[in-house]
Amino acid sequence: MSKITFKEIPGSIVAPKGFLASGVFCDIKRLGTGKGSNKGPKRDLALIVSETPATIAGLFTTNQVCAAPVKVCVERMKNGVAQVVVVNSGNANACTGKQGMADAREMVSFTERTLALSAGRGLVGSTGRIGVTMPMDNIRAGILEAAMELGGTPAHADQAAEAIMTSDSRSKQIAIEFLLGGKKVRIGGICKGAGMIQPGMSATGARPAALPHGGLHATMLGYITTDAAVDAKILQAALNEAVANSFNRITVDGDMSTNDTVLVLANGLAENKKFGAKSPEFKTFQGALNHVSLELAKKIVRDGEGVHRVVTVRVNDAKTIQDADAAARAVANSALVKTSWHGGDPNWGRIIDAIGYSAAKVVEEKIDIGYSAVGGKKIFWSLKHGQPTKATFKQLCAAVAPKEFELHINLNLGKANAVMYAADLTEAYVDYNKGDVTDPTTLGG
Amino acid sequence: MSKITFKEIPGSIVAPKGFLASGVFCDIKRLGTGKGSNKGPKRDLALIVSETPATIAGLFTTNQVCAAPVKVCVERMKNGVAQVVVVNSGNANACTGKQGMADAREMVSFTERTLALSAGRGLVGSTGRIGVTMPMDNIRAGILEAAMELGGTPAHADQAAEAIMTSDSRSKQIAIEFLLGGKKVRIGGICKGAGMIQPGMSATGARPAALPHGGLHATMLGYITTDAAVDAKILQAALNEAVANSFNRITVDGDMSTNDTVLVLANGLAENKKFGAKSPEFKTFQGALNHVSLELAKKIVRDGEGVHRVVTVRVNDAKTIQDADAAARAVANSALVKTSWHGGDPNWGRIIDAIGYSAAKVVEEKIDIGYSAVGGKKIFWSLKHGQPTKATFKQLCAAVAPKEFELHINLNLGKANAVMYAADLTEAYVDYNKGDVTDPTTLGG
């Protein structure tokens, strides 16, 4: 009963009943390479549509500099239902003032009109360069074309997943199928993000006291669809829990974006009986949503800009969750730790240094540091009670050689744990993000 | 009267009357390339000696993982006087447990005995690899040789300044001369540090509430000598103020070390009349100490690992000093901002993003961002009230092209200001710090 059984299936966001998607190229960067054509160099506008009104839940960046599409979504969450999400890449519509808000509102209302939906049924997302106003003629042309292209095949999901990419090298998709109260239910998702990645999202975009400031940082966008029948309040509770343990626990570079957004649409077409927060069905649904969210979040770290190695940083036995979180984030964001991961150097000195300067309460003489394979039970310790073990340098090098491994930090002060999924820091990250000012198309958001 | 007049002179730490120095090679890394010889590849042990007992003041890392030499210095600060500092590079004597404490105590007592000083007159500093016990035979041989080599010429100061270097590409020294109550007084200093640099030091190593956690991060070592006559309490007050505006306001990579230390020795041989905290003499002394500290601190940033550009980040008109500091540190430590500086990309989107996710209270629509030459009065604005100005991309590129420039951020919410002296993030930094595990001599602390 404690283990949920589900299988992965193709189709991501269109796998659940009643969802359609499309992705087209409408030249949002206005590079002039095939305006309005879906044969262009990269799709840049996506639609995700439910055939029937869906209950919604969302989490949004807690950055105080917050993009117009995020503000529009936060406003619309109180509607409790939606039927379409329009998302563009190439322009974040952030720091664009009143014009930006007008453009975000026009994006949703133009989409609603195009699809003959009631006003208020649209949600919107944007990612890309900050501080440039939206090319609304291109956007409108893109929406019209995307509406014509809508479909329910895996190829349609692929197009949408591609259209939301910026510096991503590949699209990120998943769908699973499981039984919920005897009915076959599906959850699918797509996401994007490769740099400016350390999300810290809340339901209103306001900063809750519990979210550490250090952890408020990406543009990542995530869109999850399900045919489960779920009340909006239950859906939001499940999303809060899922994101707290997935998207809000990843870091590529420690920078939180102005646009981070995760949305879920649940259209109920699976016809399961609605469930309460204490039911076994909730547990099943939560488990499934956790899986989808965590797999999507990990795909972001693995495809992070210039990333060579992915490290799961587990801080255990801290005095408080806040301490565990602070220590995990300090290690996961330390430039020196991240470069040593890149070099395959098992430099525990840099790790204990970062733990020591973190906001966590720690005692040097109690700290253990070790390594394991991903999901591995056997931990190879390099430090016990603040002192080096007899492990040889060669043995430790072997432990940090794999492309993915787990770092175990035990503070031995309590019972609180936290995990971060972190990328290394490479020359390729620096090279990509310094760009080339003689070619502004190389300059990221 | 408000402007203090002083001139720069040669000799750094031996410029003030009654100070001697030396630096020798004793093969602390045990590479076997000339043990005990001062003709070796790089000096690694320094002595700084005052001919008469000196009043002392010090500031130490607030990292909870704190090296043995720091603990010994913190203990000895209550003596109020000292006469010698012994400093080694190549080994940080951090995370070395009881043996490390015994070794640090042996370093000071062996030095005291060698120089025939009273017990308790020695202070100690270490920098280098973490987690390796000290090669005490080499250390003792080095102390004996350094004691024989002591002298008061600029060449002796050069040797000491070289001996405390780790990844530094050049030594960092300064000395100034000025009039204090009619007497000619001198202050000299040396420092080291290139990576693991964002110091946040306090007098006891304990973390004061006012020091932001984000700002608690290097190994930097700084040693300042003066022939001024100053009471220990006054000296500590002056050092607190000087470091708060210099060493504690620099960042290379955001990592605070286990060993950060700044010490001042004042032997009184200039024979000025001792002064109180409200006297004009205090103001003069404070101004001189500020100058020495800030010039030394800036040398660290300029010589930071892989650094191409140095940026002075000025956050003005914040609601509180804590807000100004938090915003300045978020910008100064953002991987995306630092890589854009490296690329010469005037990417204000990344800057406002970092301001927005910082712990500072900000209002997007009030934020101004601009650039000036170092010390320049004319600010070229890229953003006013959260909106781009008419400045062209080409104009902004020109503003961020120099090797050093100032970034001006105005929050327009109050009257509090903060400044950070920050390095860019380059491929060379990553390359240096990833090291080469097949050649452990390339692996840094």
DSSP-assigned letters across all residues of B120-173: T-EEEEEEEESS----HHHHHHHHHHHHHH-B-SHHHHHHHHHHT-SS-SS-EE
CB contact under 8 A, A131 and B348: yes
Residues 126-165 of A with CB under 8 A from B: 129-131
Write down the pLDDT at residue B30: 79
CB count, 10 Å around CB of B207? Answer: 17
Compute the average pLDDT of residues A216-241.
89
Structure tokens at A428: 């390729």
Alpha-carbon distance of A137 to B276, in angstroms, equals: 71
- Considering the domain architecture, whether residues A405 and A291 belong to the same structural domain is answered as no
Contact B136, B129 (CB under 8 A): no
pLDDT at B199: 81
* Over residues A308-329, mean pLDDT: 97
Which residues of B are catalytically annotated? 219
What is the spatial distance between Cα A406 and Cα A416, in angstroms, rounded to a whole number?
18
Q: Residue A300 CB: number of other CB atoms within 10 A? A: 29
Whether A433 and B343 lie within 8 Å, measured CB to CB: yes
In the block, tokens 């329910």 appear at A152
For residue A444, pLDDT over 50 is answered with yes
Q: Where are the beta strands (DSSP E) in A240-396?
A: 250-251, 261-266, 310-318, 368-372, 380-384, 387-388
* CATH code of the domain containing A340: 3.10.20.340
CA distance B257 to B247: 13
| A432 domain residue, yes or no | no
Query: Which residue's entry shows tokens 């969450």?
Result: A77
Comparing A36-40, A431-435, B205-209, B261-265, the range with the smallest average pLDDT is A36-40
Q: Inform me whether the pLDDT recorded for B71 exceeds 80.
A: yes
Give the residue-averaged pLDDT of B23-37: 73
Inside any domain, residue A1:
no
CA atoms within 13 A on the CB side of A386: 20
Distance CA B95, CA B133 (A): 9
Chain A partners within 8 Å of B348 (Cβ): 130-131
Q: Are residues B259 and B121 in the same domain?
A: yes
What pLDDT does A223 receive?
Answer: 98
- Using an 8 Å Cβ cutoff, are A219 and A193 in contact? yes
For testing contact with chain A, the best of B70, B91, B95, B431 (most A CBs within 10 A): B95
**More confident call, A214 vs A319:** A319
Q: Is pLDDT at A445 greater than 60 in this prediction?
A: no
Predicted local distance difference test score (pLDDT) of residue A213: 31
- How far A21 CA sits from the closest chain B CA (Å)? 31
Alpha helix (H) residue ranges in B10-135: 68-76, 97-114
| Domain edge (last residue) among A280, A302, A324 | A302
B444: nearest Cα among B216, B42, B85, B132? B132
pLDDT band of residue B202 (cuts 50, 70, 90) is confident
**pLDDT at residue A38, as a whole number:** 44
Residue B436 within a domain: no
Query: Band of the pLDDT at B40, cuts 50, 70, 90?
Result: very low
Q: Is residue A231 part of a domain?
A: yes
Q: Measure Cα distances from B160 to A75, B33, B289, B309 in Å.
A: 64, 20, 20, 28
Residues A102 and A19 in one domain: yes
SS3 call for A63: coil
Instruction: Out of B131-135, B255-259, B408-412, give the one with best mean pLDDT.
Output: B408-412
Active-site residue (options: A114, A219, A258, A284): A219
Q: Are residues A15 and A41 in the same domain?
A: yes
Instruction: Measure CB to CB from residue A196 to each of B64, B352, B353 and give the nearest one.
Output: B353
The whole-chain average pLDDT of chain B stands at: 92
| pLDDT over 70 (residue A3) | no
Predicted pLDDT at B39: 47
Beta bridge partners of A45: A24, A88
Query: Does residue B165 fall inside a structural domain?
Result: yes
Using the Cβ of B436 and the Cβ atoms of chain A, whether some distance falls under 8 Å is answered with yes
B31, pLDDT greater than 80:
no
**Contact across the interface for A362 and B256, Cβ inside 8 Å:** no
Q: Do A335 and B254 touch (CB under 8 A)?
A: yes
Confidence (pTM): 0.92
A416 occurs within a structural domain:
yes
Q: How many domains does chain A have?
A: 2
Which of the residue ranges A196-205, B95-104, B185-194, B310-319 would you say has the lowest mean pLDDT? A196-205
Instruction: Look over chain A and give the mean of its residue pLDDT values, rounded to a whole number.
Output: 92
ipTM for this prediction: 0.91
In a domain, B444, yes or no: no
pLDDT at A259 over 90: yes
Q: Say which DSSP state B305 is in.
A: T
Residue A212 has pLDDT above 50, yes or no: no
B65 touches chain A (CB under 8 A): yes
Task: Please count the helices (runs of H) and the strands (runs of E) in chain A.
Answer: 11, 17
In a domain, A52, yes or no: yes
Could you list the residue range(s) of the whole structural domain that residue A320 is in? 310-425
Among A371-380, A432-441, B74-83, B138-147, the minimum mean pLDDT is found in A432-441
pLDDT tens digits, residue range B146-186? Answer: 999 999 999 999 999 999 999 899 999 999 999 999 999 99
- The phi and psi torsions of B303 (rounded to 5 degrees) equal -100, 15
What's the rounded Cα separation, in Å, for the pair A341 and A426?
9
If pLDDT is split at 50, 70 and 90, which confidence band does B139 have?
very high
B372-387 pLDDT, tens per residue? 999 998 999 999 999 9
Tell me the three state secondary structure of residue B337. helix
The answer to whether the beta carbons of residues B441 and B346 sit under 8 Å apart is: no
pLDDT at B400 over 80: yes
Do A264 and A397 belong to one domain?
no
Which of A272, A302, A332 marks a domain boundary? A302
Dmax over CA atoms of chain A, in Å, equals: 70
A172/B contact by beta carbon, under 8 A: no
Nearest to B345 among A254, A340, A443 (CB): A443
Q: B212 pLDDT exceeds 80? A: no
The reply to whether B334 and B241 lie within a common domain is no
Mean per-residue pLDDT for B407-414? Answer: 98
B225-238: average pLDDT:
97
Closest partner residue to B339 among A97, A361, A430, by Cβ? A430
pLDDT beyond 80 at B280: yes
A15, A120 contact by CB (below 8 A): no
Please judge whether B353 and A66 are an interchain contact, meaning their C-beta atoms are less than 8 angstroms apart: no
Across the interface, whether the CB atoms of A336 and B440 are under 8 A apart is answered no
pLDDT at B442: 57
| pLDDT for the residue A219 | 82
Q: Which residue has the tokens 């710090």?
A: B433
Q: Are residues A290 and A372 in the same domain?
A: no
Helices (H), B252-400: 280-302, 321-333, 335-343, 348-357, 393-399
Residues from chain A that touch B92, judged by Cβ atoms under 8 A, are 349
Residues A31 and A74 in one domain: yes
Return the pLDDT at B41.
60
Instruction: Compare B246 and B200 and report the one with higher pLDDT.
Output: B246
Q: Are B294 and B342 part of one and the same domain?
A: no
Residue-level pLDDT at A41 = 60
pLDDT of residue B207: 64
User: Which chain B residue shows the shortest CA-CA distance from A365?
Assistant: B97
- Domain shared by A14 and A115, yes or no: yes
Q: Residue A307: its chain B contacts at CB < 8 A?
A: none
Size of interface A-B (CB pairs under 8 A): 224
Mean pLDDT of B84-91: 96
| B415 lies in the same domain as B266 | no
Chain B contacts in chain A segment 334-393 (CB below 8 A): 334-336, 339-340, 342-345, 347-350, 352-359, 361-365, 367, 383, 386-388, 393
At A75, which CATH number? 3.60.70.12
Cα separation of A30 and A138, whole Å?
Answer: 8
Radius of gyration of the CA atoms of chain B, in A: 22
Question: How far is the first Cα of chain B from the last one, in angstroms, to the nearest whole number?
Answer: 45
Considering A267, A302, A337, which residue would you say is the last residue of a domain?
A: A302
Query: In what helix (H) or strand (E) does residue A148 lie, and over which residues does it extend?
Result: helix A136-149
For the cut 60, the answer to whether the pLDDT of residue B35 exceeds it is no
Whether A63 and A196 share a structural domain: yes
Q: How confident is the model at residue A201 (pLDDT cuts 50, 70, 90)?
A: confident
Provide the CB-side half-sphere exposure for A443 (13 A, CA): 24
The count of other CB atoms within 10 Å of the CB of residue B40 is 16
Which pLDDT value is given to residue B256? 87
CB contact at 8 A, A415 and A364: no
